[in-house]
A and B are shown apart, each in its own frame.
Chain A
Amino acid sequence: MPDLPADTPVDRLARATPPTLARKVRGLSDRTIAWIFVAPTILLLLAINIFPLIWTIRLSFTNFRANRPNEPVEWVGLRNYQRILTDPDIWQTMQATAHFLFWTLFFQVLIGFTLAWLINRKFRGNDLMTTLIVIPMMLSPAVVGNFWTFLYQPQIGLINYAVEFVTGIPASSFTMLGSVSLAPWAIVIVDTWMWTPFVMLICLAGLRSIPDYIYEAAEVDRASKWRQFWTMTIPMVLPFLMLAVLFRGIENFKMFDLVVLLTGGGPGDTTLLSSIELKREAFEKWRTGYSSAYAIILFVTVFGLASIYVKALNKVKER
């Protein structure tokens, strides 16, 4: 059967292309074509990520203030870094961040894994249960911050009345967000409530990836449930769990919105996390050079931690 004359838009375009240009395009190697496709993304990445990073490093060695752009900028060398790293207030914010980071990760992994383990069993209403548990992580941090502020209210808040009901301590005798000792735990509770479902979902994916025949083989070998859990379930879910910890660790190191809405860094400086302090230095005190140095310190810390964590994750996956 003879070929019909093609007349699609592409064919018309091909016929209209000057032969010299067509020859040129045809002469490009696969490598060059690949670079042509990748180049816009690389350029965008350089403009959005790499350039601001290099610019921040440069600013961290100056006394530049963004609210006084016309003032001469002085090169101050390592003075910004020296000031930050000898400042007891900054040290305090790092300790507050460490407290928040450690306990949120601890509770989220513990509760998230337990929930995933329970949800993984076959029971009626399993899907509905999963949907209900996942709701908190779908909410905006602004919404969560606002309604938890109401829940923590000493006069009208549900939390205080629940504590009174369980322990007998009068509801109006303590404030979760206003107390120096309770406020750091109050923000841990809210973050755990909001983000445990995320850890649960990742763990659930890990649990569902374990084939049933492994457990069946273990049953045949008369391995106890406890032994199956520690020698099969945990090692096979570990890469997923580590991934969840990596994501939540990085996110919580940068935690800002939720804590600002709940406590604003108070009472005193007890919940002043490093990102809140950084924002104050940069956009309230307008010490741009100083805050750039602070940002670089935080960046190097997160980058270093993420590097060793990814290395550990790869090792676990290789096993």
Chain B
Amino acid sequence: MRAFLTGLLSFRRGPWENLATVLIGLGVVMLMQPFALWAFTWSFVVTLTGTVMFIITSHFPE
């Protein structure tokens, strides 16, 4: 956990990409789940944030 936070603060690719991956996955689940309309409503924002973050952070140093 500590290594993850240090990686985030020092703008390392690994932890930021992992965070973006979690956001994209969460967004897709929210988009397609059959339980809550509010989750569907906010799914696009979450997916878009994750995708943009992924594109940016894939240019960070290893």
Decide whether A and B are members of one complex: yes
Q: Is the interface of B mostly helix, strand, loop or mixed?
A: helix
Q: Are B24 and A305 in contact (CB under 8 A)?
A: yes
B5 contacts partner chain A, Cβ-Cβ < 8 Å:
no
Interface string of A266-302 (1 = CB under 8 A from B): 0000000000000000000000000000000100110
Q: Are B21 and A95 in contact (CB under 8 A)?
A: no
Interface string of A110-154 (1 = CB under 8 A from B): 000000000000000000000000000000000000000000000
Q: Are A311 and B40 in contact (CB under 8 A)?
A: no
**Given A301-B47, A303-B51, A308-B21, A85–B41 Cβ distance below 8 Å?**
yes
Q: Is the interface of A mostly helix, strand, loop or mixed?
A: helix
Place the interface of chain B in its size category. 20 to 34
Q: Are B44 and A81 in contact (CB under 8 A)?
A: yes
The stretch that binds B, out of A86-94, A179-187, A216-224, A240-248, is A86-94
A192 contacts partner chain B, Cβ-Cβ < 8 Å:
no
Contacts of B27 in A (CB 8 A): 301, 304
Q: Are B17 and A311 in contact (CB under 8 A)?
A: yes
Interface residues of A in 29-75 (CB under 8 A from B): none
Contacts of B41 in A (CB 8 A): 85-86
Least CB distance, B18 to chain A, in whole angstroms = 10
Q: Are B51 and A304 in contact (CB under 8 A)?
A: yes
Contacts of B32 in A (CB 8 A): 94-95, 97-98
Least CB distance, B31 to chain A, in whole angstroms = 6
Contacts of B37 in A (CB 8 A): 86, 88, 91
A155 contacts partner chain B, Cβ-Cβ < 8 Å:
no
Contacts of A308 in B (CB 8 A): 20-21, 24-25, 54
A88 to B48, alpha carbons, bound, how many Å? 21
Contacts of A98 in B (CB 8 A): 32
Contacts of A311 in B (CB 8 A): 17, 21
Q: Are B54 and A85 in contact (CB under 8 A)?
A: no
Query: Which residue of A is nearest B54, CB measured?
Result: A307
Chain B CB count within 10 A is highest, among A91, A304, A305, A308, for A304
A91 to B51, alpha carbons, bound, how many Å? 21
**Given A85-B41, A85-B44, A91-B37, A307–B31 Cβ distance below 8 Å?**
no
User: Which one of B28, B33, B40, B42 lies within 8 Å of A304 (CB-CB)?
Assistant: B28
A222 to B52, alpha carbons, bound, how many Å? 50
Contacts of B51 in A (CB 8 A): 300, 303-304, 307
A95 to B34, alpha carbons, bound, how many Å? 6
Contacts of A297 in B (CB 8 A): 44
Q: Are A304 and B54 in contact (CB under 8 A)?
A: yes
A305 to B23, alpha carbons, bound, how many Å? 11
Q: Are A305 and B44 in contact (CB under 8 A)?
A: no
Contacts of B34 in A (CB 8 A): 95
A62 to B9, alpha carbons, bound, how many Å? 39
Query: Which residue of B is nearest A312, CB measured?
Result: B21
A167 to B50, alpha carbons, bound, how many Å? 48
A308 to B47, alpha carbons, bound, how many Å? 12
A307 to B52, alpha carbons, bound, how many Å? 11
A303 to B17, alpha carbons, bound, how many Å? 15
- Could you list which residues of chain B lie within 8 angstroms of chain A, going by C-beta atoms? 17, 20-21, 24-25, 27-28, 31-34, 37, 40-44, 47-48, 50-51, 54-55
- Identify 6 residue pairs between A and B in the complex whose beta-carbon atoms are under 8 Å apart, listed by A's number: A81-B44, A85-B40, A85-B42, A300-B47, A304-B51, A305-B24
